């Protein structure tokens, strides 16, 4: 069973809430930090890396200026505007940050001046955490263009480590593009973290539209309530209108920030401030239990047939 | 700033939710007082700039962003399979003269079309998003927006950048997406100065390092705005010192700003804040030198 935290907007509370859910479940779960651009699961859970593997994204392309015949066919073939003419020398060069690595220039070149090269595009980690659960995370080298592929590797490794029984908690990246979709592959439940703000609601609404297309089960947690009453109401109404159940609300509280600074998670906070995230996450686990039973029933029925 | 070229300032962060859109919107407002200014929303997966400008009016029709997708022409294929072998995105399945193209993941690079010895492809446009120009009094706002369910954010970002280039403005302020991979890189590329927005939390500190690496890698000058100053204990200043990057602005955290930010209201009446924004803008514009751009 896999539970993914997503929000659309960045900074909505995905990492904090997913780490708190992992802490609530305990050492049996596996956490997959799929925000490979900005991986903070290791900080939230206190991780020590046990396995570090290099990640290669496949070959990149470059032009050998010595071999370049300055015909310009590569620049004509490139649909991404990644090949520029150097004003001083007149030669062509590939801007690595703009290159999509499609290889069209390789075919178009009249003088075999386009060569491929391999480089490390990031690293994959399997770590032990303070709480005992295993964390799979990764770091993409800045400027790399294949975060979706690295996310898939994180997900696959988490699947292998978790086996059949363990629950996988996925911390998804912001946005609604390629890395997010890769993070949600194989997830049984998506926890929508909706920030009770104008932009938080808008971005979560785009996420909900995507989840509807992807036909995913989802529940929501409204985060940072109590700042603006209108926004709180708007967040609740938005979720009611699309029929997504609310597992709970977490009021904006600087104490939540402080507890993280001391290396703990939101569920460790004493009193009312900790009670809200605890209750919300218990409700999420309730939905997970329901889905697990449903899956077992379906599997049981299939066996009987 | 030199000549009559446009100065391009990119607002980026690494971590999401640090206040990029807030800082970008106010930098644009401050700039619009004395320069023709275009605020460009390049966070195409989660475009939120317009939320700050409820009275902005569309100045043009919506422009669809199209990607040219290959279409298989029946009867010409010789079954060589070169198209599928050459596709780096795994978008083509070729089995014995039958070619299937997954138009949701095709990036429209055109490699298969150029390579096919039998000329068995033509190309059709596929809509991946849209751009639209708005006006809010003297400020121009250009929004890029990726279609929900699509993954080609890069195509939308580049189309938005290209459209921005055609707008006659002295200053462009770009609101960039979070992260350090392709969308953020494309959004920052071509800028003259990068304003990095950080908050004093361990998460932000960690993500800022990667973004600084990206900005340095692109060879761009930049400075850091410490937003929500006092909200956490992470030492952004120490990191900036280590990277040799100046802290060019500080916005203190307080509950009123948090509440107003949640409601999506502009902070124009917050004088201490606008003073800081003016300072950041002056520093950024002082360093911007479009003549120094690597690729004109």
Residue B147 domain-assigned (yes or no)? no
CB-based contact A254 B231, cutoff 8 Å: yes
**What b/e string do you get for A161-190 counting C-beta neighbours within 10 Å, with b at 16 or more?**
ebeeebbbbbbbbbbbbbbbbbbbbebbbb
CA-CA distance, A304 to A293, in Å (whole number)? 16
List, in order, residues 6 or more apart from B33 with CB less than 8 Å away: none
Q: Is the pLDDT of residue B121 over 50?
A: yes
Kindly report the nearest CA distance between residue B31 and chain A, in angstroms: 23
List, in order, residues 6 or more apart from A143 with CB less than 8 Å away: A96, A97, B180, B181, B185, B214, B217, B218
pLDDT single digits (tens) B17-73: 999 999 999 999 999 999 999 999 999 999 999 999 999 999 999 999 999 999 999
Answer yes or no: do B31 and B176 share one domain: yes
B156 exposed, middle or buried (CB, 10 Å; 0-12, 13-18, 19+)?
Answer: buried
pLDDT single digits (tens) A44-80: 999 999 999 999 888 889 999 999 999 999 999 999 9
pLDDT single digits (tens) A98-135: 888 999 999 999 999 999 998 788 999 999 999 999 99
Residue B157 domain-assigned (yes or no)? no
B217 at A interface, C-beta within 8 A: yes
Answer yes or no: do B29 and B111 share one domain: no
Answer yes or no: do B116 and B222 share one domain: no
CA-CA distance, B140 to B269, in Å (whole number)? 21
Residue A81: its chain B contacts at CB < 8 A?
Answer: 158
Q: Residue B178 belongs to a domain with what CATH number?
A: 3.40.50.300
Q: ipTM score of the complex?
A: 0.91
Secondary structure in 3-state letters for A120-148 = EEEEEEEEEECCCCEEEEEEECCCCCCHH
Among B112, B127, B142, the domain boundary falls at: B127
CB-based contact B203 A40, cutoff 8 Å: yes
Answer yes or no: do B71 and B180 share one domain: no
Q: Which of A230-234, A299-303, B149-153 has the lowest mean pLDDT?
A: A299-303
SS3 B98: strand
Residue of A104, A145, A257 lying closest to B201 (CB–CB): A257
H or E element: which one contains A251? strand A246-251
- The CATH class, in words, for A2-56+132-304 is alpha beta
pLDDT the model gives residue B296: 56
Kindly report the nearest CA distance between residue B272 and chain A, in angstroms: 21
List, in order, residues 6 or more apart from B167 with CB less than 8 Å away: B38, B133, B140, B142
Answer yes or no: do B205 and B117 share one domain: no
Per the CB < 8 A criterion, the answer to whether A140 and A150 are in contact is yes
Q: Is the pLDDT of residue B246 over 50?
A: yes
H or E element: which one contains B95? strand B92-95
Answer yes or no: do B93 and B191 share one domain: no
Domain A60-117: give its CATH code: 3.30.70.20
**What b/e string do you get for B184-217 counting C-beta neighbours within 10 Å, with b at 16 or more?**
bbbbbbbbbbbbbbbbbbbbbbbbbbbbbbbbbe
Per the CB < 8 A criterion, the answer to whether A231 and A25 are in contact is no
Q: Mean per-residue pLDDT for A77-93?
A: 90
pLDDT the model gives residue A119: 79
A289 at B interface, C-beta within 8 A: no
For residue A201, give both structure tokens: 């609601």
Q: Residue B123 belongs to a domain with what CATH number?
A: 3.30.70.20
Give me the residues of B, 134-173, that contact A with CB < 8 A. 146, 148-151, 153-154, 158
Among A65, A66, A68, A85, which Cα is nearest to A76's? A85
Residue B136 domain-assigned (yes or no)? no
pLDDT the model gives residue B3: 42
Among B6, B8, B10, B31, which Cα is nearest to B176's? B10
Backbone angles phi, psi at B108, to 5 degrees: 70, 35
Q: Is the pLDDT of residue A221 over 50?
A: yes
Number of H helices and E strands in chain B, helices first, is: 9, 12
pLDDT the model gives residue A187: 95
pLDDT the model gives residue B1: 45
Residues B188, B156, B114, CA angle at the centre, nearest 5°?
105
Other C-beta atoms closer than 10 Å to the C-beta of A213 total 10
CA-CA distance, A6 to A170, in Å (whole number)? 9
Residue of A9, A209, A228 lying closest to B259 (CB–CB): A228
pLDDT the model gives residue B156: 97
Q: For chain A, what are the domain ranges?
A: 2-56+132-304, 60-117
Per the CB < 8 A criterion, the answer to whether A183 and A4 are in contact is yes
Q: Give start and end residues of each alpha helix (H) in chain A.
A: 14-25, 41-45, 73-77, 104-108, 147-162, 178-184, 198-214, 229-242, 254-261, 271-304
> What's the pLDDT band for B184 if we cut at 50, 70, 90?
very high
Q: Is the pLDDT of residue B295 over 70?
A: no
Residue B162 domain-assigned (yes or no)? no
Residue A176: its chain B contacts at CB < 8 A?
Answer: 45-46, 146, 148
Q: Mean per-residue pLDDT for B177-198?
A: 93
Q: Is the pLDDT of residue A193 over 90?
A: yes
SS3 A59: coil
Among B127, B155, B179, the domain boundary falls at: B127
Closest-CA residue of B relative to A98 is: B186
Q: The sheet that has A134-140: what strands, in order across it?
A: A47-56, A120-129, A134-140, A30-33, A168-171, A2-6, A189-195, A218-225, A246-251
For residue B191, give both structure tokens: 């800028």
CB-based contact B46 A224, cutoff 8 Å: no
pLDDT the model gives residue B143: 98
CB-based contact A142 B217, cutoff 8 Å: yes
Residue A37: its chain B contacts at CB < 8 A?
Answer: 14, 178-181, 184, 207, 210
Q: What percent of chain B has pLDDT over 90?
A: 88
Looking up tokens 């780096």 gives: B88
Residue B45 domain-assigned (yes or no)? no
pTM (2 d.p.): 0.94
Residue B224 domain-assigned (yes or no)? yes
Among A102, A106, A100, which Cα is nearest to A92's? A106
Residue of A15, A175, A210 lying closest to B177 (CB–CB): A175
SS3 B255: helix
CB-based contact B231 A257, cutoff 8 Å: yes
DSSP B139-172: EEEEEEEEPTT---HHHHHHHHHHHHHTS--SEE
H or E element: which one contains B69? strand B63-72
pLDDT single digits (tens) B88-106: 999 999 988 889 999 989 9
pLDDT the model gives residue A144: 81
Answer yes or no: do B22 and B76 share one domain: no
Closest-CA residue of B relative to A74 is: B111
List, in order, residues 6 or more apart from B1 with CB less than 8 Å away: B7, B285, B286, B288, B289, B290
Q: Domain tally for chain B?
A: 2
For residue B72, give both structure tokens: 């298989």
CA-CA distance, B42 to B36, in Å (whole number)? 19
- Which residues form the domain of B112? 65-127
Other C-beta atoms closer than 10 Å to the C-beta of A36 total 30
Among A30, A20, A291, A23, which Cα is nearest to A168's? A30
Per the CB < 8 A criterion, the answer to whether B54 and A48 are in contact is no
Q: Is the pLDDT of residue B2 over 60?
A: no
A60 at B interface, C-beta within 8 A: no
Residue B236 domain-assigned (yes or no)? yes
For residue A48, give both structure tokens: 């020590």
CB-based contact B258 A77, cutoff 8 Å: no
């Amino acid at each position: 069973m896999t539970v993914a935290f997503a929000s659309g907007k960045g900074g909505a509370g995905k990492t904090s809430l997913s780490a708190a859910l992992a802490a609530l479940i305990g050492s049996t779960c596996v956490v997959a930090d799929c925000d490979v651009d900005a991986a903070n699961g290791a900080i939230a859970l206190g991780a020590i890396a046990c396995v570090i593997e290099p990640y290669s994204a496949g070959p990149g392309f470059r032009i050998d200026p010595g071999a370049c015949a300055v015909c310009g066919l590569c620049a004509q073939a490139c649909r991404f505007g990644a090949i520029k003419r150097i004003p001083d020398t007149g030669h062509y060069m590939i801007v690595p940050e703009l290159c999509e690595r499609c290889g069209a220039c390789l075919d178009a070149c009249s003088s075999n001046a386009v060569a491929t090269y391999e480089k490390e595009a990031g690293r994959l980690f399997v770590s032990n955490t303070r709480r005992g659960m295993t964390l799979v995370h990764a770091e993409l080298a800045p400027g790399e263009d294949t975060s979706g592929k690295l996310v898939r590797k994180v997900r696959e490794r988490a699947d292998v480590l978790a086996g059949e029984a363990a629950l996988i908690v996925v911390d998804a990246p912001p946005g609604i593009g390629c890395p997010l979709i890769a993070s949600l592959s194989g997830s049984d439940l998506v926890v929508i973290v909706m920030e009770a703000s104008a932009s938080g609601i808008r971005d979560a609404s785009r996420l909900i539209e995507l989840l509807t297309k992807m036909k995913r089960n989802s529940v929501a947690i409204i985060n940072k309530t109590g700042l603006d009453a209108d926004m709180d109401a708007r967040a609740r109404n938005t979720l009611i209108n699309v029929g997504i159940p609310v597992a709970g609300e977490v009021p904006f509280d600087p104490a939540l920030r402080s507890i993280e600074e001391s290396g703990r998670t939101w569920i460790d906070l004493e009193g009312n401030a900790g009670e809200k995230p605890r209750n919300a996450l218990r409700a999420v686990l309730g939905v997970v239990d329901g889905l697990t039973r449903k899956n077992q029933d379906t599997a049981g029925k299939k066996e009987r047939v | 700033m030199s000549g009559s070229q446009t100065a391009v300032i990119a607002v980026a962060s690494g971590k999401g939710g640090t206040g990029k859109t807030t800082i970008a919107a106010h930098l644009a407002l401050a700039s619009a007082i004395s320069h023709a200014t275009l605020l460009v929303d390049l966070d195409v997966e989660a475009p939120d700039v317009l939320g700050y400008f409820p009275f902005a009016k569309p100045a043009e029709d919506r422009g669809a962003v199209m990607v040219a997708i290959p279409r298989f022409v029946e009867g010409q294929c010789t079954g060589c399979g070169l198209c599928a072998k050459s596709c780096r995105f795994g978008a083509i399945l070729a089995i014995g003269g039958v070619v299937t193209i997954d138009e949701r993941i095709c990036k429209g690079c055109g490699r298969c079309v150029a390579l096919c010895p039998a000329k068995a492809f033509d190309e059709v446009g596929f809509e991946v998003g849209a751009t639209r120009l708005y006006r809010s009094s003297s400020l121009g706002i250009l929004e890029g927006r990726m279609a929900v369910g699509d993954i080609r954010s890069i195509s939308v970002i580049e189309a938005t950048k290209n459209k921005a280039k055609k707008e006659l403005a002295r200053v462009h302020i770009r609101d960039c997406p979070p992260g350090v991979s392709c969308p953020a890189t494309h959004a920052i590329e071509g800028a003259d100065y990068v304003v990095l927005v950080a908050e004093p939390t361990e998460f932000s500190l960690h993500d800022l390092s990667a973004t600084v690496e990206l900005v340095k890698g692109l060879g761009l000058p930049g400075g850091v705005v410490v937003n929500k100053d006092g909200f956490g204990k992470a030492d952004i200043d120490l990191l900036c010192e280590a990277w040799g990057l100046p802290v060019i602005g500080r916005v203190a955290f307080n509950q009123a700003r948090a509440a107003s930010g949640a409601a999506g209201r502009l902070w124009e009446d917050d004088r201490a804040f606008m003073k800081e924004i003016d300072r950041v803008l002056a520093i950024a514009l002082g360093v911007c030198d479009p003549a120094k751009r690597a690729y004109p």
